[in-house]
Structure 1
Amino acid sequence: MKRTVNLTLNGISHQVTVHPMGRLLDVLRHEFGLTGTKEGCGEGECGSCSVLLDGELVNSCLIPIAQVEGSRVITIEGLAAKALHPIQNAFLQCGGAQCGICTPGMIVATANLLGHTASPTLEQIREGLNGNLCRCTGYTRIFDAIRSAAQSMTDRDREELTVLMEKKP
C-alpha cells in the first residue's frame, strides 16, 4: 500500500506517494530524477548515497522513505543552487573524482565537514569522510580538494552550509 510523504527536497516542498518502506535513495533517483546520489553497495558501507537529512549526514540506501516525513533532504544537486559549489569546483580542480561513483557522497560529506569545521586538520578530514569509500583515488586528491575548498570558501558560502546543517527542531 502506498503512502504520501511530505518532505523538503533541496529547499522545495514536495509530496510523493510511494511505498513507505521504499528507500530514500530509490525515491530520489526514480521519483525525483536526482541521479547524482549513487548506489555503491546498498548496505550503508560505502557512502556513495550520502545525503543530508535534517542536517545530518546519512546513507540514503538505509533510510525508509516513511522516516523522511516532514524532513529536509539535501542532495548533491542541492549544493549547486545556481552554479557549482566551491566544494564541487575544488574536487574538479584537484582531480578528486575519477570514476564518479563515490564523488557525490564525498562532496556531501565534505559539505557536512566544512559546515562544522572551517579549516579542518588532516585528522578531521579523515574523520569527516569516515564511512565514505573510494576505490580509485587513494584519497590524496580528495584530501587536497577538501583543503582547497576550505581555503576558497567565502563567508557567504560558509553561511549557506550552516543553513544546510541546521538540525530539525
Structure 2
Amino acid sequence: MSRIIKIALITAAVSAAFMLVFMQNIQKTEKVVVVEKDIPAGTVISEDAVKVIDVPASVVNPSYARSPADVVGKVVKDGRVKGDFIPVEILTSKDAQPLSPDRAVMTVPVTSVEAKTLQSGSTVSFIVFDQTGSKVIEGFKVISVIREDSDKASLILDADLNSAAQLVPYLKLNSFKVVRR
C-alpha cells in the first residue's frame, strides 16, 4: 500500500473515533422512573414495581417521576404497563380524596429559583401581567415540585376551575410570577 493510502486510512480511523466520542458526549441522559411490572389503576406502587433508568434527555417530559421516592407508596389513577414512564400527575396519596368536578390539576413551568422554597402542600398565587397592568390570581395548592435541571422546574398544582381558567392565557404568554402564600 502506498504511504498516502495508509495516512488516509489512519486519519479516517482517528476522525471516526473522535466523532464517536463527541456524539456520545452530546447525547445527554436523564434518570426517570419506569414501571418494572404492570400496575393496575388504583394500586399502591411498591418498590419492586418500579426502577430508575437513564434515557435520552430529548424524550423526557418534565412531568415524569425522577426518583422512586416520588412514586413509592402512592396510588396510580391510570394503569401502567411494564416500561411505561410515570407522570406525577397520575399519582395520588393513599389518603387523597378524588378530585371533585370543580377542581383541576395543572402543570406550570417555573424557574428552579421560584421552586426552591416550594414543596407539596404549599399554597401559591400568581401575579399575572398584560397590557392593562397586573392582577393576582389565588387558589392554587402545590401537589408536587419537579426539579428538571439547575434552571427549570415545574409545579403540579391543584386549583379551582375558575382560577385555573384565569391563569391559562398567562401561562401561554409566559407573563406570570409565582408568589408563595
More strand by share: 2
Q: TM-score, normalised by structure 2?
A: 0.27
More helix by share: 1
Pair member with larger Rg: 2
Q: Which has the higher contact order (CA 8 A, sep 6+)?
A: 1
